[in-house]
Amino acid sequence: MAVTKALLNVLKGERLATPPMWLMRQAGRYLPEYRALRTEKGGFLALATDPAAAAEVTVQPIRRFGFDGAILFSDILMVPWALGQELSFGPGEGPRLVPPLATQPLASLERAAERLDPVYETVRRVRAMLPAETTFLGFAGSPWTVATYMVAGQGSRDQGETRMFAYRDPAAFDVIVDAIVAMTVDYLARQIEAGVEAVQLFDSWAGSLSPEQFERWVIAPNAAIVRALKERHPHVPVIGFPKGAGGKLPAYAAGTGVDAIGLDETVDPAWADAVLPAGLPVQGNLDPIALEVGGAALTRGIDRVLEAFRDRPHIFNLGHGIGQHTPIAHVEQLVARVRS
């Protein structure tokens, strides 16, 4: 008997009475088993580049909750690392990339694509460990979001330094974006060849751009990645997650060619259902804070999302990553409610 992969089927356009589910950052700090392994390995990058450990982290939430999708444990800044920047995760602070491209040109860096090899080995190991019915998701950061870290060397509240760079010297910024696109296509293609069955493009800072800049630095580069990936792997679905896009979501759907759209928690799900193309699969979009709070607030949030998307292909997820202080019992409440 053929195994049913509910999440993969929804990504290909099937509508199910009970939506499949996974959670962004489901392999992470809210799990005691993850915290124990990270302490043992001594840091995020050491954990992410150890295939045995990264594979174990990827499957931990599948064992505990039985989610329909497993998301590869890695980071969106692996691509800048492979493009030649040095990557570090200091205690109590966000990731750092050196040298920042605001002060040193991309051409001065020495590419090191072999830094991605442990990721492909992780994929091979995870694929062998997952239940047959679980869909395996790979991912990469979208070019705009990745570029904001590469230019500034770290995250920021408004991506102001990168936005000014892009306005002042769009030709130089194009060089950076084009390099990210090329590396990302190969990175995702090799994840697919190693065993992932669908991929997600995370554009965490898409909401910081004006409509014109959104068209140039979000829609166009993501469309280029989707086209190139479809040439190499035409049957593998691509999920686009442009966090903060809001009213620009219909343009993103039309312009990028993604197979499904992830919605952040600020999007009204009823509005999204009304304005997005009929039949386009959507993913989301429970507020992660409602999950952390639990109880009646969580139940109301779940029901609102389920009601809005009852007539289209839908993957239940959060509107962003699960918070590190989220109680396990609240995730269990979520799973039970969605599946009831």
Share of the chain above pLDDT 90, in %: 94
pLDDT reading at 1 higher than 70: no
CB-hemisphere CA count at 13 Å for 214? 23
The tokens for 198 are 């669908």
Domain with residue 48: its CATH number is: 3.20.20.210
24 assigned to some structural domain? yes
Annotate 186-233 with DSSP letters as a single string.
Answer: HHHHHHHHHT-SEEEEEETTGGGS-HHHHIIIIIHHHHHHHHHHHHH-
Q: What is the pLDDT of residues 146-198, one digit of tens each?
A: 999 999 999 888 999 999 999 999 999 999 999 999 999 999 999 999 999 99
- What is the overall mean pLDDT for the chain? 96
322 assigned to some structural domain? yes
120 assigned to some structural domain? yes
| Structural contact between residues 255 and 291, judged by C-beta atoms closer than 8 angstroms | no
pLDDT reading at 2 higher than 80: no
Q: What is the pLDDT of residues 12-69, one digit of tens each?
A: 999 999 999 999 999 999 999 999 999 898 888 999 999 999 999 999 999 999 999 9
Question: pTM for the full model?
Answer: 0.97
Predicted local distance difference test score (pLDDT) of residue 339 = 97
150 assigned to some structural domain? yes
Residues designated as active site: 25, 29, 38, 75, 149
The beta strands (E) that lie in the chain are given as 69-71, 86-89, 95-98, 135-141, 198-203, 238-242, 260-262, 282-286, 314-318
Predicted local distance difference test score (pLDDT) of residue 12 = 97
Annotate 155-171 with DSSP letters as a single string.
Answer: --SS-HHHHHHHHH-HH
The tokens for 301 are 């949030």
In the DSSP assignment, the letter for residue 115 is: G
Domain that holds residue 270: 6-339
d(CA 58, CA 123): 9
92 assigned to some structural domain? yes
- pLDDT-derived band at 81 (thresholds 50, 70, 90) equals very high
Average pLDDT estimate for 230-246:
98
d(CA 227, CA 221): 10
1 assigned to some structural domain? no
149 assigned to some structural domain? yes
Number of domains present in the structure of the chain = 1
pLDDT reading at 128 higher than 90: yes
165 assigned to some structural domain? yes
